Structure 1
Amino acid sequence: MSQEKFYYVYILASHQNGTLYIGVTSNLIKRSWEHKNKIVEGFTKEYGVDKLVYYETTNDINSALLREKQLKKWNRQWKLELIEKENPNWADLAMEYYKKECDIK
């Protein structure tokens, strides 16, 4: 019996209304940790884009890749509105997850 696999389309930000990065991964927590710890060379490391502010989940890699491309084509205002609809305080969702998993008060 195989376990269902999930894929995540995510948006990172340098800070509220700051630089944005959109990506896809099959392991959101690991990938966000890599960005936070500057393990990922390139754009996110160079611009300090390491705050997970939005993500979507799907069980189909093709859907995830199509959604990533779609979001990358959106204008900046649409991206900001998407983030603020789901995460109005621009909380770092990775940190929220870490706190929950580690039961940190």
Structure 2
Amino acid sequence: MKTYYVYILSCSDKTYYTGVTSDLTERLESHQRGKYANSYTYSRRPVELVYYCEFTEPMKAIAFEKRIKKWSRQKKKALIDGEYDKLPNLAKKKFNSK
């Protein structure tokens, strides 16, 4: 059975990057090497793996990744820190509407 990972990287500019992969070690190395010049993490290296979780179903991993990407920084930090009881009360990311 294949394993899929949802992961969060802490970037050098103090932002978080969330992704999904089936090979966490290789993906982390790609981010560190700057394999893709147009990627979010390219100019924000070095990066540090601060969270990951495993899934056996790729669609569930992708859905969780998309959910995390909508979260506020504070809510992501609570997840990273294992403060799961705080998650329901922390707001989603606020987008500017124009």
Give 1:56's aligned amino acid.
Answer: C
- 1:39: how far off? 1.1
Tell me, in whole angstroms, the C-alpha distance in 1 between the residues paired with 2:46 and 2:33.
11
Tell me, in whole angstroms, the C-alpha distance in 1 between the residues paired with 2:46 and 2:20.
15
- 1:49: how far off? 5.3
Q: Conserved in 2, the CA contact under 8 Å of 1:21 and 1:49?
A: no
Aligned to 1:46: 43
Q: TM-score, normalised by structure 1?
A: 0.72
- Identity of paired residues, percent? 40
Change beyond 3 A, Cα 1:43–1:49: farther
Aligned to 2:18: 22
Which has the larger helix fraction? Answer: 1
- 1:14: how far off? 1.7
Does residue 71 (structure 1) correspond to residue 68 (structure 2)? The answer is yes
Tell me, in whole angstroms, the C-alpha distance in 2 between the residues paired with 1:76 and 1:25.
22
Q: TM-score, normalised by structure 2?
A: 0.76
Aligned to 1:35: 31
- 1:85: how far off? 1.9
Deviations 1:16-42, CA, capped at 9 Å, x for gaps: x91110000000000001111111332
SS at match of 1:53: strand
Does residue 84 (structure 1) correspond to residue 93 (structure 2)? The answer is no
Gaps of 5+ in 2: 84-98
Give 1:29's aligned amino acid.
Answer: T
SS at match of 1:85: coil
Q: Conserved in 2, the CA contact under 8 Å of 1:35 and 1:50?
A: yes
Gaps of 5+ in 1: 87-105
Moved over 6 A (4+): none
SS at match of 1:74: coil
